[in-house]
Amino acid sequence: MAPPLAIVAGSGPGLGQSLVSAFGQSGYTAIGLNRSVTKYATDILPVDLSDPVVTAATLRDLIRVHGAPKLVVHNTAKLHIVPFADTSTADFEALWRAMVLSAVNLAQGVLPAMAEAGGGTFIVTGATASLRGGKGFAAFASAKAALRALTQSIAREYGPKGIHVVHVILDGIVDTHASRELHAMNPDRMMQPNDIAEIYLAIARQPKSTWTHEFDLRPMGEAF
């Protein structure tokens, strides 16, 4: 039998690429979807996930070739830290499209096929802002909170159809080159992408009698 398909939507440098790599090493045919792709990334497809037509066509092609996915991760993010008075309505819409509309397009493209094939796991990456809005995070937090509510609705609809829908709150800074420059933190106090990927794989292996819908991950010493 062919390896099961795993899709990572939002597979840029850091966590996204770590997820694609970890899934591929764990027996999946792992495909990343990302707005921009380097010429060396053979396992990542260029897709604007906020475009419903393009996203649907890409997912149809993947399912036609590989079958319905067994593991799907929505990992898109667009960080925006700006005072509320300086945040435009265009900013609000851009973040909603990047994080919420992309999840709608992804879920509508894979969940029916997954349910028909007998189920699978659909994971959504959240953040501290999924639960509370901080100063300067009005646009980002409102989109992340909407994404959490969307995930809850999908879980209640597709859980009985055999799909494990999970919302993971990353309550900390993920260690990437960009985040090191932005936060000037000790990497020992940051979340390691490869470690997060292992947790996502563990989620996909949970038995149906003990599914987790939501939990949070944070590095040792993180205030909460």
The domain segmentation of the chain, as residue ranges, is 5-217
Half-sphere exposure of 209 (CA within 13 A, CB side): 0
The pLDDT assigned to 54 comes to: 97
List, in sequence order, every residue forming a beta bridge with 72; answer none if it has no partner: 7, 122
The pLDDT assigned to 185 comes to: 75
Q: CATH assignment of 5-217?
A: 3.40.50.720
The pLDDT assigned to 1 comes to: 78
Helix (H) / strand (E) element for 18: namely: helix 15-25
Q: Please give the C-alpha separations between residue 165 and each of 24, 55, 223, in angstroms, as whole numbers.
A: 21, 20, 27
- Residue ranges of the chain with pLDDT lower than 50? none
Length of the chain: 224
The pLDDT assigned to 40 comes to: 56
111, two tokens? 């969940």
* 59 φ/ψ angles, rounded to the nearest 5 degrees: -70, -40
Instruction: Give the SS3 label for residue 13.
Output: coil
The pLDDT assigned to 77 comes to: 86
- Decide: 15 and 193 in contact? Cβ < 8 Å: yes
